[in-house]
Copies of this chain bind each other. A is one copy, B any other.
Amino acid sequence: MAGAEPLLDALVEALRRLPGVGVKSAQRMAFHLLQRDRDGARRLAAALEQAAEGVHHCVRCHTFTADTVCATCLDPARDARQLCVVETPADQAAIERTGSYRGLYFVLMGRLSPLDGIGVHDIGVAPLLERATDGSVDEVILATGFSAEGEATAHALAGALRARGLKVTRLARGVPAGSELEHVDLGTIAHALVDRR
């Protein structure tokens, strides 16, 4: 594969930048695409180009959108006094599917993770504080995950938001719907006991 080596090496190197892909996986992917699925290779190239070009962040809530402001932020039926803070567009979609929230969102696009080098600048804390203090928001609902990093993110945000006089709430911790108590971990039961209503 003499003259083709620089092209193959460049492809393997580029595939390795995908999360969870090592050298061996990247080589297998490159071989598969070139040997069995050139159409797939061209389609992936086009999809990458179009997404990198066409997907932006909503200037109000930071979620992915093809426009300047996303459809949710533009929806006049949403309650602008509530602002729900989530880690990713996928989390936002999960909350939307419940059909039980009519406020607006702010999508952090991550969570504080010092070990991965992700700090307050990377998850857009400053734009969140700006958005939350624009006069329209009464309550900020922190809906980051309940992992250690999600909790740390919520803690940091709560302090900064309360210091600006905002009402801050957090998703309730408790026993998941439909679960048997004996199969729920002790930490969750303990939290559910403390937060009982």
A171 at the interface (CB under 8 A from B): no
Query: Which residue, of A27, A40, A63, has the highest number of chain B Cβ atoms within 10 A?
Result: A40
**Overall SS of chain A's interface:** helix
Decide: A51 near B44, CB < 8 A? Known: A31-B89, A64-B4, A93-B1: no
Q: B residues within 8 A CB of A31?
A: 88-90
Interface size on A, residues (CB 8 A): 58
User: A28 on the interface (CB 8 Å rule)?
Assistant: yes
Most chain B CB within 10 A, of A11, A71, A110, is at: A11
Q: Is A76 an interface residue (CB 8 A)?
A: no
Q: Find chain B residues with CB under 8 A from A2 CB.
A: 65-67, 70-72
B33 touches A66 (CB 8 A): no
**When the two chains form their complex, are residues A71 and B3 in contact, meaning their CB atoms are under 8 A apart?**
yes
Question: Which residues on the B side are within 8 Å of A56 (C-beta)?
Answer: 4
A1, A31, A40, A42: most-surrounded residue (chain B CB, <10 A): A1
A193 within 8 A of partner (CB): no
Are the C-beta atoms of A55 and B18 separated by less than 8 Å?
A: no
A28 to chain B, nearest CB (A): 6
**A71 CB → nearest B CB, Å:** 3
How long is the Cα–Cα vector from A42 to B56 in the complex, in angstroms?
A: 15
Check B34 against A28 for contact (C-beta < 8 Å): no
Cβ-based interface call for A163 (8 A): no
